[in-house]
Structure 1
Amino acid sequence: MEALPRETVVDVLEKRLREDILAGRHPAGSHLPPERELADEFGVNRTTLKHAFGRLAQSGLLETRHGVGPASGFLRLGGADLLPMLVRHSPDWIGEIFEVRRSIGALIAERAADRATEAQVAELRALLAAVGDADGADDVQLADAEVHRALARATGNRVYVLLTNTLFNAYLPVRAALVAPFTEAGAAHDRLAPVVEAVAARDSEAARVAAGAYLSATERIMLEGLARSRERRDGAL
């Protein structure tokens, strides 16, 4: 069996710098300390530092310009793929993710009602039934996510599918704290059913309204659960 590659100095340095940027030690828009200073701080040479800078620039975390030191640039150049890392460092991002979730989710349901095929409607109903049949909050949560992925596919627009995947990926760092809406399979099924039925009826306005109601209700429950989780964590400290 082939051995897994070991981390290089560049790998470790990239992670350290990424953590510093995402933790706010190098705020968005600010310039990093001079290369010589950083090289001395981390005990590396400037060539190694430049390799790490190059990787961070590719991910959108750094912006490099000729003649100017690198600056933290994720708010200008970063993509949605950074969201899971950002949420891990600051759960405050969840509120902004939920705002996008509401607007995009309602639009996806509306488009799905206009464009879903009979096969996609049948898939949605089967996936909805799986939500009600799921055993345990974790399985219910995952089954619920599959309904939303299917709604995105039913729009016929692959960008909606990628956006849906990105938003779900953004939840991963705090997913366990967002499980409250899924503790009862029957209730989770009943909250989501009006969205699926409106799509099946080809009623785009009803689908948009039902999705908005579903997303607002589950958001409220998840944020309450997240707040309780923080209180328990803070109380344990």
Structure 2
Amino acid sequence: METLPRETIVDVLENKLREEILTGSHPAGSYLPPERELAEGYGVTRTTLKHAFGRLVQSGLLETRHGVGTRVRDFVRLGGADLLPMLVRHSPEWLGEIFEVRRSVGALIAERAAVKATARQREELRGLLAAVGQAEGGGDVQLADIEVHRALARATGNRVYTLLTNTLFNAYVPMRAHLVGPFLDPDVAHARLAPVVSAVGEGDAKGAREAADAYLAATERIMLDGLGIA
């Protein structure tokens, strides 16, 4: 049995402030009220408030300047992809935009992997594909499928593609249990992904891109339909 996390007052305050920022109650570029006023308003100590502020600064939502105050950061203009997991937790609608990028980047990665993959990497891909069909349970099939895509990114020889792939997967980790639809049947999941690995193995760049695009479009549709997102 999984132990449930215990929320502290700092956790509760951090979550409340984050929600207020993301919903626009504290608009980007605006300064928050003085710490004393905020602490009194939330019924917490200034120490608790400072701890919550520190977490939100680290996550990229706030910035503080000594003697000036704490300002809401324009995270859409200035933030990085590391914010995506938090944004998905706030609103699953971000997934639609994430999947759009997943599809375009994933197709390009497959194309480049077909050109750049070594014999050893092609063999690794075949082994990882086999693991998809052998996995039991949607969650395990899903994780096995993810490893195929990580290997495809490595096979491009471009580490930025690997980091982008990790970022996109990390972005929807908070919703992973709700995105298991395409992976419930290991045989179907294997068959859906096999054309991508086959084309990469044959060095067919055009075929790999087309197969990856078809795979990504099909799985995206199943996952978003499962969430009720058009």
Q: Which TM-score bucket, shorter chain as reference?
A: 0.7 to 0.9
Q: Distance in 2 between matches of 1:29 and 1:209?
A: 43
The one-letter amino acid paired with 1:114 is V
**Contact kept in structure 1, 2:85 and 2:173, CA below 8 Å:** yes
Measured at CA, do residues 168 and 35 of structure 1 come closer, stay the same or move farther in structure 2, by a change above 3 Å? same
Aligned position for 1:39: 39
Structure 1 counterpart SS, 2:136 = coil
Q: Distance in 1 between matches of 2:138 and 2:55?
A: 38
Aligned position for 1:233: none
**2:88 maps to 1:62:** no
Q: Distance in 1 between matches of 2:177 and 2:55?
A: 31
**Contact kept in structure 2, 1:108 and 1:160, CA below 8 Å:** yes
Aligned position for 1:119: 120
Q: How does 1:215-230 map to 2 (within 5 A)?
A: 215-227=216-228
Root mean square deviation of aligned Cα: 2.5
**Contact kept in structure 2, 1:101 and 1:167, CA below 8 Å:** yes
Measured at CA, do residues 137 and 16 of structure 1 come closer, stay the same or move farther in structure 2, by a change above 3 Å? same
User: Any gaps of 5 or more consecutive residues in structure 2?
Assistant: 1-5
The one-letter amino acid paired with 1:150 is A
**2:154 maps to 1:132:** no
**2:37 maps to 1:21:** no
**Contact kept in structure 2, 1:59 and 1:78, CA below 8 Å:** no
Structure 1 counterpart SS, 2:98 = helix
**Contact kept in structure 1, 2:21 and 2:72, CA below 8 Å:** no
**Contact kept in structure 2, 1:56 and 1:62, CA below 8 Å:** yes
Tell me which moved more, 211-220 or 169-178.
Answer: 169-178
Map Cα deviations across residues 143-199 of structure 1 (whole Å, 9 max, x no partner): 111100111111122221122112112212221221111111111111111111111
Structure 2 counterpart SS, 1:159 = helix
Structure 1 counterpart SS, 2:71 = strand
**Contact kept in structure 2, 1:31 and 1:72, CA below 8 Å:** no
Calculate percent identity across the aligned residue pairs. 73
Aligned residue pairs total 223
Structure 1 counterpart SS, 2:140 = helix
Aligned position for 2:91: 90
Aligned position for 1:144: 145
Aligned position for 1:168: 169
Measured at CA, do residues 224 and 55 of structure 1 come closer, stay the same or move farther in structure 2, by a change above 3 Å? closer
Q: Distance in 1 between matches of 2:219 and 2:147?
A: 16
Alpha-carbon distance, 1:222 to partner: 0.9
Q: Distance in 1 between matches of 2:99 and 2:42?
A: 38
Tell me which moved more, 163-172 or 120-129.
Answer: 163-172
Q: Distance in 2 between matches of 1:223 and 1:8?
A: 34
The one-letter amino acid paired with 2:20 is D
**Contact kept in structure 2, 1:61 and 1:77, CA below 8 Å:** no
Q: Distance in 2 between matches of 1:51 and 1:73?
A: 21
Measured at CA, do residues 222 and 8 of structure 1 come closer, stay the same or move farther in structure 2, by a change above 3 Å? closer
Measured at CA, do residues 7 and 173 of structure 1 come closer, stay the same or move farther in structure 2, by a change above 3 Å? closer
